[in-house]
Structure 1
Amino acid sequence: MPVTVFKRKMTGLVEHSKSVYQFANVALLSSLPNRCQLCQHRIEQLDYQRLFPNQVLSGICQVCLAASLYQHEVCLGCGREIPLLQAYCGKCLKLTPMLVVAPCSYHQGLGPLIAAIKYQQQCAPLNAITQQLATRINQLIEHKLIRAPQVLVPVPLHPNRLRQRGFNQAWLIANRLSQLLDIPLDDSSLTRVVDTAPQADLSGKQRRKNCFNAFKLSDKVQYQRVALIDDVVTTGTTVDEIARLFSQQFIYVQTWCLARAEAPGLLD
């Protein structure tokens, strides 16, 4: 058998195996008990699989998911509500801070689910929320408000924290986005070299001190545009510290996350 024919047959078998696996995975997930972690009602797929083929809605129902997403346009700089689809509000237009893309506010519905992913390993809603992030990204790229990056870089955990937690939620999100958006994932160029204290209970000043020089970036990064991936952006201290390292190599950085925890009073 000619080599080219053999390669075509093997490629066909691999693609067929992938299709069978995806179908089996969807069928299996559809048959498992599936209740919304917010309202506790049974999750019905309804038209979800028509909108997102080969995807099973899990961990959150369509009603809770739709209600938790942004119901208005938001500034990609500070998260403030704005009347039109644009990158920045008037205030941020003067400062042009780093662009932060998220499908929802951490404070308006999905916060408990995202916290449960990180601290309780309840990852059932992760795919559905990441799918909404991918949809938001595609919308912004289509309207030329952001540029697609060349690579996705998950915010790394220190090895001690990784062993303790067992997984890096930012890597899980980045891996799923890589599949959905067909953008490569790079989890080797950026490392966390300081085992920092958890940021949750720290003030802004303490967060900045906590993250200073906590990361190391390879000297030979070959990209011009990257997207940092994390679960939540609060004060932006972590991603700002990482962006500082990239900027030293003249690399453009934006941040993509599942939710944004805006400053107190900003959404009132």
Structure 2
Amino acid sequence: MDRTRLNLSRWQLRLSRLRRLLAASLPNRCMICHQRVLLPQRGICLTCLDAGLYSSPSCLGCGRTMSLQSAYCGTCMTTRPLKVVAPASYHQGLGETVAAIKYQGQLAGLNPLVQALVRRIHKLVAVEAISLPQVLLPVPLHPRRLRQRGFNQAYLIACELGQALSIPVQPDALMRLCDTPPQAGLTGKQRRRNLAGAFSLSDGFEYQRVALVDDVVTTGTTAMEIAKLLEGRYIQVQVWCLARAEAPHLIDQ
């Protein structure tokens, strides 16, 4: 069995195990309002989910509300920053649910948020704001952090996305070399210094278009550090996440 097929087989096995884990963790009440959730909806009721999702087109560069969906607003057209695809703002009701996935292992909200992200991706592809990548790369955890937490939420999200969109996932292509302190509470300068040289890419990586997958993008320091590494190998990068923490004044209140 060649390396590609072996990796695919391992990914499918991992996905099967993760699906069993997710199924076992799903409550029958909404994580936000605690009202009963009717199947097939899981984890978050439709009312809370719809209330937290973007209601207007938004710029993939800065998150600014736009009248018509395109890749960038007028300001970002001049600099063309890293594209961040998310179905929701971290500040509009779903942030605590995203944080609960990461810090408390409350995986019930993962599937509905991933499905919202899938719908967002399809809409952006339809208006040619993005193109689908060849492969998904979950943001890696350092092995020590992975042992402590027990799972990598970015990998869980990537597996769900890969299954929904028929895109392969390569969890071992990116490696985290340093067990850096948590980014929360650090200034932008401290975040950049914290992550400088923290990641590496496997030598045999051959894809040219990738989506970097994470749970949330706040300042974007982690995504930009990895994008710099990938772009140094002439690889096109976009970021897919469950929510982004754009500046509050950029979105409609």
What range is the shorter-chain TM-score in? 0.7 to 0.9
What is the alpha-carbon distance in structure 1 between the residues aligned to residue 247 and residue 225 of structure 2? 19
1:75 paired with 2:59, answer: yes
What is the alpha-carbon distance in structure 1 between the residues aligned to residue 231 and residue 209 of structure 2? 10
* Mapping for residues 96-135 of structure 1, pairs under 5 Å: 96-135=80-119
- The share of aligned pairs that are identical, in percent, is 58
Q: What whole-Å deviation, never above 9, does each CA across 1:3-39 have from its counterpart, x for those lacking one?
A: xxxxxxxxxxxxxxxxxxx9xx99xx6xx85001111
TM superposition score normalised by structure 1: 0.83
Shift of 1:263: 2.3
Q: Which residue of 2 aligns with 1:225?
A: 209
Which of the numbers 43, 51, 54 marks the counterpart of 1:59? 43
RMSD (Å), alpha carbons: 1.8
What is the alpha-carbon distance in structure 2 between the residues aligned to residue 101 and residue 265 of structure 1? 19
1:184 paired with 2:168, answer: yes
Q: Which residue of 2 aligns with 1:40?
A: 34
Deviates more, 1:179-188 or 1:138-147: 138-147
Amino acid in the other structure paired with 1:126: L
Shift of 1:220: 2.5
Matched residue SS, 1:74: coil
Q: Which residue of 2 aligns with 1:193?
A: 177
What is the alpha-carbon distance in structure 2 between the residues aligned to residue 168 and residue 33 of structure 1? 21
Give unmatched runs, 5+ long, in structure 1.
1-21, 46-55
| Bigger relative contact order, structure 1 or 2 (CA pairs below 8 A, ≥6 apart) | 2
Shift of 1:218: 1.4
For the 8 Å contact 2:27–2:108, the answer to whether it is kept is: no
Q: Which residue of 1 aligns with 2:136?
A: 152
What is the alpha-carbon distance in structure 2 between the residues aligned to residue 87 and residue 158 of structure 1? 32
* Mapping for residues 158-173 of structure 1, pairs under 5 Å: 158-173=142-157
TM superposition score normalised by structure 2: 0.88
What is the alpha-carbon distance in structure 2 between the residues aligned to residue 238 and residue 263 of structure 1? 17
* Mapping for residues 196-211 of structure 1, pairs under 5 Å: 196-211=180-195
What is the alpha-carbon distance in structure 1 between the residues aligned to residue 27 and residue 163 of structure 2? 26
Shift of 1:204: 0.8
What is the alpha-carbon distance in structure 2 between the residues aligned to residue 66 and residue 214 of structure 1? 37
What is the alpha-carbon distance in structure 1 between the residues aligned to residue 158 and residue 201 of structure 2? 18
For the 8 Å contact 1:234–1:263, the answer to whether it is kept is: no
What is the alpha-carbon distance in structure 2 between the residues aligned to residue 262 and residue 170 of structure 1? 19
- State the structure with more CA Rg: 1
Q: What whole-Å deviation, never above 9, does each CA across 1:69-127 have from its counterpart, x for those lacking one?
A: 00111000000101111110110000000110000000001001010000001010100
Matched residue SS, 2:205: coil
For the 8 Å contact 1:103–1:136, the answer to whether it is kept is: yes
What is the alpha-carbon distance in structure 2 between the residues aligned to residue 113 and residue 185 of structure 1? 24
Give unmatched runs, 5+ long, in structure 2.
1-15
What is the alpha-carbon distance in structure 1 between the residues aligned to residue 161 and residue 108 of structure 2? 16
Deviates more, 1:251-260 or 1:140-149: 140-149
Amino acid in the other structure paired with 1:70: Y
Q: Which residue of 1 aligns with 2:121?
A: 137
For the 8 Å contact 1:152–1:174, the answer to whether it is kept is: yes
1:258 paired with 2:242, answer: yes
Shift of 1:264: 4.6
What is the alpha-carbon distance in structure 2 between the residues aligned to residue 220 and residue 41 of structure 1? 49
For the 8 Å contact 2:135–2:170, the answer to whether it is kept is: yes
1:234 paired with 2:250, answer: no
Deviating beyond 2 angstroms after TM superposition, the runs of 4 or more aligned structure 1 residues are 263-268
Deviates more, 1:150-159 or 1:211-220: 211-220
